[in-house]
Structure 1
Amino acid sequence: MIKECCNKIDNNKVLLSMAIKKKRYEALVQVYHSELYRFAYWLCHDPTIAEDLVQETFLRAWRSLESLQDDKAAKPWLLTILRRENARRFERKQFDYADVENNTLEDNKSVTLDDEMEQTVIHRQINKLSPEYREPLLLQVVMGCSGEEIADILELNKNTVMTRLYRARNQLKEALTDNHEPIKGALN
């Protein structure tokens, strides 16, 4: 009788623990899915691959959800997982980027042809930056991460991150002003 009662208590603890984990996971997906997708798309420029990266990210997050001690650290934690998933993609298969179409994400707003062309030019110039400059810039601009969050995600010193952001902006500004007339809204 006592053993049976203890088993019921243990089962209830397990069920409660699983329910808590499920709710926590669902909250992460709901809050961060679109942001992760946007960042993944910037990394790979393919909607299908971006969605696969996000799914793999959330699968790994589910498996190691217990390691996320502070929910405030969820965004950098998920971005780190996504970056590593993207790196694994290159380990598994090398892609020919000459055939990759350079589309921009469609926005709900109607975009004029000039605006679309400007976005394409900016997108291409950002992609020409070396990864050490492109990645922190995308984390800041696309994901809205702070310098400290970027430092945590990239496992770098905050001063290094700030220097790379400064250099990325300068390189982008030079590329946009050297190759074209100044673009409205470009970094000055």
Structure 2
Amino acid sequence: MRQKQKQLEYERLVLVYSDELFRYALWLCRDKSMAEDLVQESCMRAWKSFDKLRETTSSKAWLMTILRNEHARQYARYRPDMVDLDLDMLSLRDADNDTTPEAFALKLALNELANEYKEPLLLQVIGGLSCEEIASVCNISKSATMTRLFRAKQKLREVLQPADEQESTK
């Protein structure tokens, strides 16, 4: 009975966060099939250590951390040719694929962000993680997380806001 309850709880957990795990994996890998493999491998590792999960309230950050660590393990073994990520792939619904000039500019601006700023921002926006959860996933302090989020948003604002608007807000 205990094993069945554990399995049901695990399946519920994975079902709830599978889309967010895939989007994060896709951002990390920049390849759909590798992202799928990464999520699958991460889920297997999560199952093996599911008993170690103490609080279900931190399960999202726990899964993201497993995925991030598994990516680091795989990346150490395999270094693919880097290609630019088509940020349209990050959307779960076709209706979200915005082709307006503003959306295109945002995608370009996101691609220009350094990874130290982009990763926390995407974990917040795509993954819906809190500052504490992002800090845990990225293995940085909460204050460093908040600083990186602030700087990421500031850099996006600088790139996306017309020069005349920037002058009026100073």
TM-score (norm 2): 0.83
Counterparts of 1:143 and 1:126 in 2: how far apart (Å)? 16
Whether 2:126 is the aligned partner of 1:132: answer no
- The answer as to whether partners of 2:88 and 2:97 remain within 8 angstroms in 1 is no
Structure 1 residues 58-102: Cα deviation after superposition (integer angstroms, max 9, x where no partner): 01000100110111110000000111122223201112114x562
Task: Look up the match of 2:51.
Answer: 66
Q: In 2, Cα distance between the equivalents of 1:48 and 1:118?
A: 29
2:42 matches 1:57:
yes
Is it true that 1:39 corresponds to 2:34 in the alignment?
Answer: no
1:18 deviates by: 1.8
Aligned with residue 61 of structure 2, among 65, 72, 76? 76
Amino acid at match of 2:154: N
The structure showing larger relative contact order (alpha-carbon pairs under 8 Å, at least 6 residues apart) is: 2
Helix, strand or coil: the match of 2:80?
coil
Decide whether the 8 Å contact of 1:125 with 1:175 is kept in 2. yes
Of 16, 28, 33, the match for 1:48: 33
Question: Sequence identity, in percent?
Answer: 41
1:17 counterpart residue number: 2
The 2-side partners of 1:136 and 1:127 are apart by 14
Match of 1:141 among 114, 125, 145: 125
Question: TM-score normalized by structure 1?
Answer: 0.76
Q: 1:18 corresponds to which letter in structure 2?
A: Q
Shift of 1:103: 5.0
Q: Matched residues in 1 for 2:55 and 2:116: separation?
A: 28
In angstroms, what is the RMSD of aligned CA positions? 2.4
Structure 1 residue runs without a partner (length 5+): 1-15, 183-188
Q: Once the 2 structures are TM-superposed, how far is the Cα of residue 135 of structure 1 from its aligned partner?
A: 1.1
Give the gaps of 5 or more residues in structure 2.
Answer: 166-170
- Which residue of structure 1 aligns with residue 71 of structure 2? 86
- What is the CA distance between 1:110 and its match in structure 2? 7.0
Aligned residues: 163
